């Protein structure tokens, strides 16, 4: 009786076929996944803006005004004794950037809203469409 010592292994052709199939599947799934990722970043940014809004209202109740443009959002997490009746910090930790890593823009306004918080979206520039659309606290 003869022993068969041949080892079973994948050939380079078989490996290439498997890699090609995985690549095709990834190209079909990745765009849908990336769309969900961008949608999640928009929702995260909107949720952070709502958190800012709540903290700003608490600041206003204590101090009697909203932060100035120069104080900005940082006054919500940076303890200060320079502001009369300040009872913060109003946020437990800094949240200076949106979900894309771009800074939030805080500015006081003269309309009924008293302030605006803006994220310039994915591109970090004013204007834009789709994922680069600017988001404002008052848009939703």
What is the mean pLDDT of the segment spanning 104-118? 88
pTM over 0.85: no
Mapping DSSP to helix (H, G, I), strand (E, B) and coil, where does residue 124 land?
A: coil
pLDDT at residue 34 in the model: 65
Q: What is the rounded average pLDDT for all residues in the chain?
A: 84
Distance CA 113, CA 89 (A): 22
pLDDT at residue 65 in the model: 92
pLDDT at residue 3 in the model: 58
87 Cβ partners below 8 Å, 6+ apart? 62
The residue that leads in pLDDT, 11 or 103, is 103
Alpha helices in 1-140 (DSSP H): 12-63
Distance CA 20, CA 3 (A): 36
Q: 89 pLDDT exceeds 70?
A: yes
**pLDDT tens, position by position, 19-74:** 888 888 877 776 666 667 778 888 899 999 999 999 999 999 999 999 999 999 99
The residue that leads in pLDDT, 109 or 37, is 109
**pLDDT tens, position by position, 2-14:** 555 556 667 888 8
pLDDT bracket for residue 126 (50, 70, 90): confident
Partners of residue 118 on adjacent β-strands: 105, 136
Q: 1 pLDDT exceeds 60?
A: no
Residue 123 DSSP symbol: T
User: What domains lie within the chain, and their CATH numbers?
Assistant: 43-136 (3.30.700.10)
15, 17, 121, 123 from 113: Cα distances, Å: 61, 60, 21, 26
Q: What share of the chain is helix, strand, coil (3-state, %, to 5)?
A: 40, 10, 50
């Amino acid at each position: 009786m003869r022993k068969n010592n041949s080892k079973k292994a994948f050939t380079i052709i078989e490996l290439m076929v498997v890699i090609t199939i995985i690549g095709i599947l990834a190209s079909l799934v990745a765009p849908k996944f990336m769309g969900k990722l961008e949608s999640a970043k928009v929702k995260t940014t909107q949720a952070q803006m709502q958190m800012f809004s709540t903290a700003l209202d608490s600041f206003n109740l204590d101090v009697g005004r909203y932060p100035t443009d120069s104080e900005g959002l940082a006054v919500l997490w940076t303890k200060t004794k320079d502001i009369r009746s300040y009872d913060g910090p109003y946020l437990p930790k800094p949240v200076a950037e949106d979900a894309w890593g771009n800074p939030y823009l805080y500015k006081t306004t003269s309309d009924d809203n008293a302030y605006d918080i803006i994220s310039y979206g994915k591109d970090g520039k004013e204007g834009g469409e789709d994922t680069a659309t600017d988001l404002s606290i008052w848009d939703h």
